[in-house]
């Protein structure tokens, strides 16, 4: 009997805002695994802001490749269950992650690196946390927040920390990790509802809606004596505001620039790096996948925080694979609180 | 007998380009030193690109204060000879540096910090090098190049290094320090004559005139495999070009942005920091004066390189205190090769 599976395909590179009809759902035959391969039935797949960068004829230099048209979209994190295995170390029933997401079934080659190593086929310990947590706090999101604070930003206990997009997948982890570390933490987000979530549910020390005024003024109100660390998920005016309020020897972890992902042409920079020179500031770009050696340590520590109730984690679940494009559109538009996931179902 | 000295005063804040007639030379009475003070006859005074930032009603936040109008300009490095001393540890005939430049005589308080500590009254060891070297390779310029490479850029032996404004005071030191370290060094400057100086006299591995084409293309031609370190004296398009050619884990020492100093309004940024995130790049702003603890070590090392002929050092000497403003105008316009100095005479 021929197995048939659905997959989401990009059919046109969006100009300006992404629309759901830039994609289609195709039904394709699924072959069995060859030697060294496993067949996985995907159960949850990830929706990430950075996917936007690959919905273009040419992705930014140095980044992952653009998605091809009318083909399965490779390089999107997914968890699932092994159905059939031709590879040593994997057996039917195993929970795994890999990078062939946005489809029902995937044939994955064991040991073949994907997504800079982060998406290489890996067995998951579901006793630590529910399997979809590996697409959030126990996966690339957690690693990004962890590496960004501990390494890119060289976080110290006494730091005053500002996290932008603090209601987002990475931001909500970074903000809470810094709180657990004992820092004073300020979060920003794009709606009053998200601000209430930051203060009420995540317990941040201060939070603001960046649409309420000039960002630099809002940060200054929240941190009259300045900040030591800025965890940047936004870029543009947010980064410019951070440079203006960072104290001497301050640090910026450059995690991404979601404010720019939807625009054509060169992204707006922070405008002025003079403050970096004047105040001995360090801006450090980083990718979670550059810190794979910290993955196990991060997973043990973060799973502990989840079990102890120290870490709040909200999922924005979209039901059904065909709705994955809409989930991405909503995410880029800023209408998502917590980690965006699609239950393939 | 009343001692009379000349001093250069700013009489109007320039709008746009600085002009010599934004200044005047005044003759003022010079009083004797009080307790804890010394009277210094200045012999050489410094002309630095960053002075431009203080020729404004309001200097950038976090930077040194703006110069007041119709008064002596404080906070400019100078060397001279003690004429009369009321302070322990200083005697007539001592060579010293301090920060009350652009004037014939200064009464300086011993131990009082100036220019973030770099301009505090200090005795100089003229057996190491001629006294005006303390305004160049053995002073703030040397410390800036030294701290920028060794600390801000974490220089490694195998790095490919690009230094902008490489014919300038700090740039020519940074480029040569990196060569002495064994790195491959590319320099850029704003004229073919300066490029010839970089290749012929400083012995850099490659050099280009940034006016000859898009900067990013020129850097790529000089370093087809990319660079590891960019020592930034320019900002703007130069910094943007560096971000495009820096290899993974690359580093930028943000020393200054002379391209921006003459413009009103916010300075142009590099445009896009996405490459920093994609390639794990670090941009570190720094001021030489933040590394005062390295001053003695730097002076001993650099004086040795000067004696051994490993380090070429060119001075752009302007004769006579009244010509200091013109020297600054020429420096900002890019018509200076080597360290700009005024012999007060």
pLDDT, residue A297, reads: 96
- Res B267 pLDDT > 60: no
- B278–A contact, CB cutoff 8 A: yes
- Res B272 pLDDT > 80: no
Q: Is A241 helix (H, G, I), strand (E, B) or coil?
A: helix
Q: Is A7 helix (H, G, I), strand (E, B) or coil?
A: strand
- A116–B contact, CB cutoff 8 A: no
C-alpha B288 chain-centroid distance: 9
Minimum-distance CB partner of B280 among A63, A244, A287: A287
- Please identify, in words, the CATH class of the domain defined by A3-136+314-343: alpha beta
Which token pair is A283? 């801006």
Residues of B whose CB is below 8 A from A288: none
The answer to whether B273 contacts A275, with C-beta atoms less than 8 Å apart, is: no
* Topology at the third CATH level for domain B3-136+313-343: Quinone Oxidoreductase; Chain A, domain 1 (3.90.180)
A7-63 per-position pLDDT tens digit: 999 999 998 899 999 999 999 999 999 999 999 999 999 999 889 989 998 887 667
The answer to whether B278 contacts A244, with C-beta atoms less than 8 Å apart, is: no
pLDDT, residue A256, reads: 75
- In angstroms, the CA B235 to CA B220 distance is 18
pLDDT, residue B258, reads: 53
- A143–B contact, CB cutoff 8 A: no
Render the burial of B69-104: b for 16+ CB within 10 Å, e for the rest.
Answer: eeebbbbbbbbbebbbbbbeebeeebbbbbbbbbbb
Check residues B75 and B266 and name the one with the higher pLDDT. Answer: B75
pLDDT class of B335 with cuts at 50, 70, 90: confident
**For range A256-268, the mean pLDDT:** 50
The answer to whether A275 contacts B62, with C-beta atoms less than 8 Å apart, is: yes
**For range B232-240, the mean pLDDT:** 91
- Res A264 pLDDT > 60: no
- pTM of whole model > 0.90? no
Minimum-distance CB partner of A290 among B254, B257, B280: B280
Beta bridge pairs of residue B5: B28
Going by C-beta distance under 8 Å and a sequence separation of 6 or more, which residues neighbour residue B51? Answer: B76, B328
Which numeric CATH code is attached to B143-289? 3.40.50.720
A312-331 per-position pLDDT tens digit: 998 999 999 999 999 999 99
pLDDT, residue A43, reads: 98
CA distance B139 to chain A (A): 18
Select from B278, B279, B281, B294 the residue whose CB has the most chain A CBs within 10 Å, as the one to mutate to test that interface: B278
Spatial contact of A216 and A243, defined as CB atoms under 8 Å apart: no
The answer to whether B284 contacts A276, with C-beta atoms less than 8 Å apart, is: yes
pLDDT, residue B62, reads: 65
Cβ-based contacts under 8 A for chains A and B: 124
Q: Is B323 helix (H, G, I), strand (E, B) or coil?
A: helix
Crossing angle of helices B295-307 and B140-147, rounded to 10°: 100
The mean pLDDT value of chain B amounts to 93
Instruction: Report the run of H or E that residue A14 belongs to, with start and end.
Output: none
* Cβ-based neighbour number of residue A30 at 10 Å: 18
- Res B260 pLDDT > 90: no
Asked if the ipTM is above 0.90, the reply is no
Check whether domain A140-289 has CATH 3.40.50.720, yes or no: yes
The answer to whether A267 contacts B271, with C-beta atoms less than 8 Å apart, is: yes
Check residues B114 and B257 and name the one with the higher pLDDT. Answer: B114
- In angstroms, the CA A166 to CA A202 distance is 10
pLDDT, residue A270, reads: 56
pLDDT class of B269 with cuts at 50, 70, 90: low
pLDDT class of B50 with cuts at 50, 70, 90: confident
pLDDT, residue A258, reads: 54
Maximum separation of any 2 CA atoms in chain A, in Å = 69
pLDDT class of A195 with cuts at 50, 70, 90: very high
- B294–A contact, CB cutoff 8 A: no
The answer to whether B284 contacts A281, with C-beta atoms less than 8 Å apart, is: yes
Residues of B whose CB is below 8 A from A279: 62, 285
Spatial contact of A336 and A48, defined as CB atoms under 8 Å apart: no
Q: Long-range CB contacts (< 8 A, 24+ apart) of A1-5?
A: A2/A29, A2/A30, A3/A29, A3/A30, A3/A105, A4/A28, A4/A29, A4/A30, A5/A30, A5/A103, A5/A104, A5/A105
Delimit the domains of chain A by residue range.
3-136+314-343, 140-289
- In angstroms, the CA A283 to CA A40 distance is 40
Residues of B whose CB is below 8 A from A268: 271-272
Which token pair is B292? 């005062």
pLDDT, residue A62, reads: 65
DSSP string, A62-117: TSPPPPPTTSB--SB-EEEEEEEE-STT--TT-EEEESB-SBSEEEEETT---GGG
Which token pair is A110? 């064991």
Which token pair is B271? 């445009």
pLDDT class of A269 with cuts at 50, 70, 90: low
* Cβ-based neighbour number of residue A44 at 10 Å: 24
B168-212 per-position pLDDT tens digit: 889 999 999 999 999 999 999 999 999 999 999 999 999 999 999
pLDDT, residue A271, reads: 57
Residues of A whose CB is below 8 A from B285: 273, 275-282
- Res A267 pLDDT > 60: no
Reference A302, options A181, A188, A153, A204; nearest CA is A181
* Cβ-based neighbour number of residue A230 at 10 Å: 29
The answer to whether B280 contacts A260, with C-beta atoms less than 8 Å apart, is: no
C-alpha B146 chain-centroid distance: 12
pLDDT, residue B169, reads: 86
User: Percentage of chain B surpassing pLDDT 90?
Assistant: 83
pLDDT, residue A254, reads: 96
- List phi, psi (to 5°) of B196: -60, -40
- A244–B contact, CB cutoff 8 A: yes
Residues of B whose CB is below 8 A from A62: 248, 275, 278-279
Distances in whole angstroms, Cα of residue B199 to Cα of each of A80, B195, B209, B339: 60, 6, 12, 18
CA distance A252 to chain B (A): 10
Residues of B whose CB is below 8 A from A256: 277
Minimum-distance CB partner of A274 among B60, B280, B286: B60
- B214–A contact, CB cutoff 8 A: no
B65-114 per-position pLDDT tens digit: 899 999 999 999 999 999 999 999 999 999 999 999 999 999 999 999 99
Residues of B whose CB is below 8 A from A273: 235, 239, 254, 257, 267, 269-270, 283, 285
Q: Which of A75-79, B52-56, B304-308 has the lowest mean pLDDT?
A: B52-56
**For range A205-210, the mean pLDDT:** 98
The answer to whether B274 contacts A284, with C-beta atoms less than 8 Å apart, is: no
Check residues B115 and A284 and name the one with the higher pLDDT. Answer: A284
- B270–A contact, CB cutoff 8 A: yes
Which token pair is A227? 């900040």
The mean pLDDT value of chain A amounts to 93
- In angstroms, the CA A267 to CA B270 distance is 10
């Amino acid at each position: 009997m021929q197995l048939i599976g659905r997959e989401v395909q990009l059919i046109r590179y969006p100009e300006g805002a992404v629309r759901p009809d830039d994609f289609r759902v195709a039904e394709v035959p699924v072959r069995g695994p060859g030697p060294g391969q496993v067949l996985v039935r995907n159960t949850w797949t990830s929706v990430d802001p950075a996917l936007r960068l690959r919905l273009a004829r040419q992705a930014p230099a140095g980044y992952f490749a653009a998605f091809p048209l009318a083909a399965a979209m490779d390089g999107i994190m997914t968890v699932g269950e092994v159905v059939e295995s031709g590879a040593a170390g994997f057996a039917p029933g195993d929970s795994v992650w890999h990078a062939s997401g946005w489809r029902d079934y995937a044939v994955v080659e064991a040991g073949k690196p994907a997504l800079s190593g982060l998406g290489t086929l890996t067995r998951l310990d579901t006793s630590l946390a529910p399997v979809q947590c590996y697409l959030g706090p126990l996966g690339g999101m957690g690693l990004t927040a962890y590496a960004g604070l501990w390494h890119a930003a060289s976080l110290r206990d006494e730091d005053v920390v500002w996290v932008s997009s603090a209601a987002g997948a990475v931001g909500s982890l970074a903000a809470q990790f810094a709180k657990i570390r004992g820092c004073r933490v300020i979060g920003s987000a794009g709606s009053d509802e998200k601000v209430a979530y930051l203060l009420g549910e995540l317990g941040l020390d201060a939070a603001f809606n960046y649409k309420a005024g000039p960002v630099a003024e809002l940060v200054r109100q929240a941190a009259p004596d300045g900040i030591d660390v800025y965890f940047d998920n936004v870029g543009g005016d947010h980064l410019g505001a951070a440079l203006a309020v960072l104290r001497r020897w301050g640090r910026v972890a450059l995690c991404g620039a979601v404010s720019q992902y939807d625009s054509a042409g060169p992204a707006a920079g922070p405008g002025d790096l003079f403050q970096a020179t004047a105040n001995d500031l360090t801006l450090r770009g980083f990718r979670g996948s550059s810190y794979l050696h910290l993955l196990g340590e991060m997973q043990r520590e973060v799973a502990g925080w989840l079990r102890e109730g120290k870490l709040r984690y909200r999922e924005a679940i979209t039901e059904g694979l065909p709705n994955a494009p809409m989930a991405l559109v909503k995410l880029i538009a800023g209408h998502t609180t917590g980690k965006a996931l699609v239950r393939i179902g």
